[in-house]
A and B are shown apart, each in its own frame.
Chain A
Amino acid sequence: MFRIQNNTITKKLTRMNMLVSGAALLMACASFVTYDLFAFRETIVRNLSIQARVAGSNSVTALVFNDSHTAENTLSALKAAPNIVSAGIYTLDGQIFAAYEREPGTQLPRFISADHDETHSFKDGSVIVTNSIVFQGKPTGMVYIRSDLRALNAQLQLYAIIAAAVLAASLGTALWLSSVFRRSITEPIRHLADVAGMVSRDKNYTVRATLPKSRDELSTLIESFNDMLTQIQGRDGALQLAHAELEQRVSERTFQLAAANKELESFSYSVSHDLRAPLRSIDGFSQALLEDCSETLNDDGRAHLQRIRKATQRMGFLIEDLLNLSRVSRTEMHTQNLDISALACSIANDLQNAQPERQIELQIEDGLKTRADPGLLRVVLENLLNNAWKFTSKHASAHIAFGMARGNGTPAFFVRDDGAGFDPAFADRLFGAFQRLHAMTEFAGTGVGLATVQRIVHRHGGRIWAESALGQGATFYFTLSETDS
């Protein structure tokens, strides 16, 4: 690509040189030739005029004595001049007196006017000179000489050949000189183009263009180009360094993250296996104690043991929920398009079947779709609907709704109940693990459910928030991603 442009520059420069020198030479040749032709024409006219005068003065006697034969003899001396086509002596009244014709048939005018002493004219490829013959101060007759322009044409041809030769020689020299000098222009450009091509092709910023020996605009350009390369090289180096540092940091972080994940994994695994075993022992042997030694225990003792068992079981639930919470973060997500309304219906049906005695008016908006991990979304809806069931349990009849809120802002799914609600002052504590806004005796639970829900919603790139007033029910809103609609 660069080479083509370079060639174009070479061609342009050559063409320019040729045109300039050609034009100058042509003009010079033309002016020289023009000048010479004019000078030559004048010389011809002068010579003819002299010859006319000589012939005239030689014919004076013949004219005076009316001896045309002698006059014709005199004129025949003009044979020596091969350029003279015809000549004539005319009487004062313009009648032909004597004639000379180099070749017969040459038309001599029978009559010429003698108004002027001396005239010349160029006509039909020949030049005609007339001259008056003066004898003893009185005009006696006229001489007419007609010459061809062979000499002039020969001169013209010679000039043309010389001009062409000079033009050719000069243009050749100019071509040779320009090819020598244009190298000093095109070579640095070509070199610059090559280096630029190398830089853009190989992303190699260490190369530099060589400066030409002479200082001119091109060397300035090349210098600037080299400066630019130095700057790019510097920045590229810094960028690569930063990039490498970033890579290093990313790989370190990834490694740390992987290690942390592994640790979390093995921690959860241990919790899952090892933390429950002692609880089982406590609960199991408390029960054994109650069964085997019931006679030796008084009521207080039995009540204490019951409390121990309850606490143990509660601890078991806590561990269970904590593991679920951590599992929510650890499991791989596989999102797919889901009918969230159908999912809400199926969960609500399960809840209704578990507590058929509850009077619950259920309202589920139909046909809501979303994209989520099916298992995790189920956990979200189970928790929210379970809560709605739980916190309306003190009411004789309840109203629970699931749907989509399409207010101003992003549309959000919601689960609404008309149960106990919560104090909005503590709304920010709602989603923290082990945070409970109600007394244990009032509503059961570990306080991990909403933390789990929030974690799932966040993993889907969504948001969750709640609105409530104490005793007036609660509404939980959530989005699963920015693209929900």
Chain B
Amino acid sequence: MNNKVILLVEDNPDDEALTLRALRKNNIVNEVVIVRDGVEALEYLFGDGGYAGRDVTRMPQVVLLDLKLPKLDGLGVLRRLRSDARTKLLPVVILTSSNEEQDRMKSYDLGANSYVRKPVDFDQFLDAATQLGLYWLVLNEPPPRRL
């Protein structure tokens, strides 16, 4: 479980810190790669730009994707991931503040695997992080590696 990487796409440093704190408090010690915007997320996943030369066969176990992001927003990232054969089946969890119907609709429409709201109450946030970690890192079997 330790070699499984989590990609956290989050521009808010507070949310980043809280997410990391929640994960750590639940003893999830996996490497968490943090990118600050949608473009950077794509560069990381496809080994472009600042991440040129990265071993792209090593895909994260799960992508925790915020919707409101600088440059390219979460839905834009999701659209690009689903249209590329390399990331078409990559598990993506939308982790966001909003529970707007249109956001949920579009996310699932574009092929999100899950939609989780970040609760205001940190206790609930902890709870959500526990379940997320447990589910995506332990319980869930990822799709077979691309041929």
B25 to chain A, nearest CB (A): 9
Closest residue on chain A to residue B21 by CB atoms? A288
Q: Which of B75-83, B106-114, B116-124, B135-143 contacts A (4 or more CB under 8 A)?
A: B116-124
CB pair B98–A312 under 8 Å, yes or no, is no
Interchain Cβ contacts under 8 Å between A and B, 12 examples:
A276-B98, A280-B14, A283-B120, A283-B122, A284-B21, A284-B122, A288-B21, A312-B120, A315-B120, A316-B120, A316-B121, A331-B101
Residues in B whose Cβ lies below 8 Å from that of A327: 101
Of A278, A279, A280, A327, the most chain B CB neighbours within 10 A belong to A280
Number of B interface residues, CB 8 Å?
A: 22
Answer whether A280 and B67 are a contact pair too, CB < 8 Å, given A272-B100, A273-B98, A331-B101.
no
Name the distance in Å between A315's Cβ and chain B's nearest Cβ.
8
B15 interface contact, C-beta 8 A: yes
Residue A281 CB within 8 A of the other chain: yes
**Contact at B100–A268, with CB atoms within 8 Å?**
yes
Alpha-carbon gap, A280 to B100, bound state (A): 18
Please give me the residue from chain A that is nearest to B14 by CB atom: A281
Check A272 against B120 for contact (C-beta < 8 Å): no
Interface residues of A (CB under 8 A from B): 268-269, 272-274, 276-281, 283-288, 309, 312-313, 315-316, 323, 327, 331
A280 engages B21 (CB within 8 Å) = no
Contact, CB under 8 Å: A284 / B14: yes
Contact in complex: A269, B121 (CB < 8 Å): no
Given contacts A273-B98, A276-B98, 5 further A-B contacts (CB under 8 A): A273-B96, A274-B68, A283-B121, A288-B21, A288-B122
Chain A residues with CB under 8 A of B122? 280, 283-284, 286-288, 309
Q: Which residues of A contact B115 (CB under 8 A)?
A: none
Q: At the interface, yes or no: B57 with Cβ under 8 Å from chain A?
A: no
Choice from A277, A285, A315 contacting B97 with Cβ under 8 Å: A277
CA distance A283 to B68 in the complex (A): 21
Distance in Å: Cβ of A96 to nearest Cβ of chain B: 141
Assuming A272-B100, A273-B98, is B15 touching A281 (CB within 8 A)? yes
Q: Are A280 and B123 in contact (CB under 8 A)?
A: no
| B131 interface contact, C-beta 8 A | no
| Chain A contacts for B118, CB-based, 8 A | 276, 280
